[in-house]
Amino acid sequence: MSKPLVGIIMGSQSDLRIMKEAAEVLDELAVSYELTVISAHRTPLRMVEYATEARNRGIQVIVAGAGGAAHLPGMVASLTSLPVIGVPVKSSNSVDGWDSILSILQMPAGVPVATVALDGARNAGILAAQIIGATDKALGERLDSFKKSLQTKVEAAAKSIEANGWKSVL
């Protein structure tokens, strides 16, 4: 793939079970990315270097997933002017994911983090592509096709239920 446009980072390797969904949808949309583990608490200098050098390396959007205290997305957003999309991850040390959601969502003025649903890495990947697709015509067209395919799937499901009854799909 070409030079990465999206950086996908996560606080722990255990988050990969969720964060891989961002990578998978970026693959579907032919958007180049890099993926790595960076811990705000265990590798803070690595986090600072990643966030401050991302733009120079061609990254346009950062997708950051974290569970528990979930400081990674906000700390990265404090170090860069690139858009940061936070993915709260329900982890083994999580309080039903609420600690992660609130840690990412409740950012102070001037340090925004776009926040998706708990374990919503697929939507984070789509949002990253849409941000880039706002100025990349070819990607914008791929996203239009992607959205149309979602509509087609729902319409097909509706027709099937209407024709065969709801019990036919369970």
Is the four-CA dihedral 54, 57, 62, 66 of positive or negative sign? negative
Contacts for 93 with CB less than 8 Å, ≥ 6 apart: 67, 68
Give backbone dihedrals phi and psi of 67, rounded to 5 degrees, phi first: -110, 180
Asked if residue 42 belongs to a known ligand binding site, the reply is yes
Asked if residue 17 belongs to a known ligand binding site, the reply is no
Q: List b or e across 26-62, with b for residues whose CB sees 16 or more CB atoms inside 10 angstroms.
A: beebebebbbebbbbeeeeeebbebbeebeeeebbbb
Asked if residue 94 belongs to a known ligand binding site, the reply is no
Contacts for 103 with CB less than 8 Å, ≥ 6 apart: 66, 69, 70, 71, 74, 88
**Are the beta carbons of 76 and 59 closer than 8 angstroms?**
no
Residues making up the binding site for substrate: 12, 15, 42
Binding residues: 12, 15, 42
